[in-house]
Amino acid sequence: MQPNSFLNALIRNDKKVIKRIYKDNYAKVLYFILKNKGNRDDAADIFQKALLQLILRYKKEPFQIKISFEAYLFTVCKNLWRRELNKSKHKVTNSKVVELIDDDTDIALAALEQERWELFHEHLEKLSENCRKVLKLFFNKIPYAKIVENLNYNSETVARQRVFKCKNKLKDLISKDKRFKTLTQL
Amino acid sequence: MEKDFRLIEDYLTGQLNKDQKKAVEDRLEQDPEFKQQFEFEKQLFDTFNDNSWNFADKNDLALNSYKSTVHSDDFQKIKESIADAGKDYEPEKLNRRNNSSWILYVAAAVVIVLIAVQVLLKNSVTNEELYYTYINLEDLPSFVTRNEAPKQTLAKAENFFEQKKYEASIALFEDILIENEKDSRVYIYLGIAYTESGNYDQATKTFNQLIASDLLDAEKGYWYKALLYLKTNDEKASKSLLETIIANKYYNAEQAVELLNKL
């Protein structure tokens, strides 16, 4: 089955395919979540939400999955779990009063956030291997001294310039994307 | 401009003191352009930091475009089907647990005792079992992101690997190594694929290449080589590598300590 046939089957409410998706993918997601501070209930919840998110997005505007459906679904699940783990932190730092949102709205929000995540990552992939490496370290808050050591730069100044250049390139690519406006002002 | 970025960067990486932080926050309220730069930088951090997530807080317009779909009958029907399909995989229902909770507690106690006895009687698992516990095939870093064409080979190779079609994935990974810039993950996948298909010499060679490379993750080679030795039942070689990992604080040093204790 082509990746997109899965999506088409999902929005057709094809029960056989839905069962098959569970059979082929659930174990891997469960395993990942158990390994990362989650339990079985979390896994059941995340898997369901991931499928709903895909349906929602596909119904709004059909898109092409360029990798296997399994791999794509797994990425969405991983991101949803990362999102879940960060939720409490987000609520605390956000000074605004957080209104209670229902499950469906939350799925819609997560869908938007996933779209934005993909937009950012698509452009990151366009950078050179070297840029991606240094940015990855930088965004993971690795101190410059360590970056110099890891990537064999001559000095911290060189590393800083490199980060500055790569980051600007990335920002430039992202801001020129036509999806940028709607997605970054979230 | 560059100075501003430096300031934002220091703020986001937590390198400013209380007064400096306050100054940035004040400026955020007064200077819209600065605020815009700040938000963009923050989004980058939230997106690309492995432990964060870039949350959406507003944008009602985009959200509304979803809401109408969410509330459609269609969507609610599919939701039911998914919930149905998921039932087979859900953990036991809570109420059942409540009705017979004391039996469960007793059962749990018995299981714990049994496990303890088993551990005492049979003090070690086989090296092969340890290998599979620690190699953690499901958690290997994936090549999969939404990509353009050149990366398709990688995704394909990874796919073969996941389906345990190791011969096919070896062929693709070898090609990738020849053609492409080097990537530590390719060595790791290739080495494991060789291991799984019983070609231990090639597996050793592959991990040695990784270790000898100037890649950022070269040190991971030690960990996978140690596991390879475990699989081939060469405990002595495996132990010595684990000790190297621990002594140098290489990749997975903590797990190495744990594993060493089990050998």
Domain of residue A146: give its range: 126-186
User: Could you tell me if A111 and A20 lie in one domain?
Assistant: yes
Q: Which of A122, A141, A163 is the last residue of a domain?
A: A122
Task: Give A152's Cβ-side CA count (13 Å radius).
Answer: 4
Q: What is the pLDDT of residue B213?
A: 86
Q: What is the pLDDT of residue B95?
A: 41
- Mean pLDDT of the region B13-28: 93
**Residue A61 pLDDT exceeds 90:** no
User: How many CB atoms are located within 10 Å of the residue B2 CB?
Assistant: 10
User: Could you tell me if A44 and A86 lie in one domain?
Assistant: yes
User: Could you tell me if A98 and A110 lie in one domain?
Assistant: yes
- Interchain CB contact of B3 with A (< 8 Å): no
CB pairs under 8 A between A and B: 188
Q: What is the pLDDT of residue A1?
A: 82
Q: What is the pTM of this model?
A: 0.60
User: Could you tell me if A88 and A132 lie in one domain?
Assistant: no
CB-CB contact of B59 with A182 (8 Å)? yes
Average pLDDT along chain A? 90
Q: What is the pLDDT of residue A181?
A: 75
Our CA-based measurement puts residue A180 at a distance from the nearest CA of chain B, in whole angstroms, of: 11
CA nearest to B49, candidates A4, A120, A101: A120
Cα distance between residue B135 and residue B128, in whole Å: 10
A42 CB-near residues (< 8 Å, 6+ apart): A33, A81, A84
Which residues of chain B have a CB within 8 Å of the CB of A182?
Answer: 59, 61-62
Q: What is the pLDDT of residue B94?
A: 40
Residue B98 burial by CB count (10 A; 0-12/13-18/19+): exposed, middle or buried?
exposed
Cα distance between residue A67 and residue A64, in whole Å: 9
**Residue B150 pLDDT exceeds 60:** no
Integer CA distances (angstroms), B236 to A54, A81, A99, B148, B239, in order: 50, 40, 59, 45, 5
Task: Work out how many domains chain A is built from and give that number.
Answer: 2
User: Could you tell me if A15 and A39 lie in one domain?
Assistant: yes
Average pLDDT along chain B? 83
pLDDT tens-digit map of A76-93? 999 999 999 998 777 666
pLDDT tens-digit map of B193-251? 999 888 888 899 999 989 988 888 889 999 999 999 999 888 889 998 998 898 888 88
B147-150 own/partner pairs: CB under 8 Å, 24+ apart: B147/A66, B147/A67, B147/A122, B147/A125, B148/A66, B148/A125
**Residue A97 pLDDT exceeds 50:** no
- Mean pLDDT of the region A82-110: 76
Q: What is the pLDDT of residue B97?
A: 45
Q: What is the pLDDT of residue B145?
A: 62
User: Could you tell me if A118 and A169 lie in one domain?
Assistant: no
User: Could you tell me if A42 and A95 lie in one domain?
Assistant: yes
**Residue of A26, A104, A144 to mutate when probing chain B, most B C-beta within 10 A:** A104
- Closest in B66, B144, B147 to A60, CB measured: B66
User: Could you tell me if A143 and A72 lie in one domain?
Assistant: no
Q: Do A71 and B181 count as a contact with CB atoms less than 8 A apart?
A: no
**Residue A95 pLDDT exceeds 70:** no
**Residue B93 pLDDT exceeds 70:** no
User: Could you tell me if A60 and A86 lie in one domain?
Assistant: yes
Cα distance between residue A109 and residue A104, in whole Å: 9
CB-CB contact of A80 with A117 (8 Å)? no
User: Could you tell me if A69 and A108 lie in one domain?
Assistant: yes
User: Could you tell me if A132 and A148 lie in one domain?
Assistant: yes
pLDDT tens-digit map of A12-38? 999 999 999 999 999 889 989 988 889
Which of helix, strand or coil describes residue B136?
Answer: coil
ipTM: 0.89
pLDDT tens-digit map of A124-166? 999 999 999 999 999 999 999 999 999 999 999 999 999 999 9
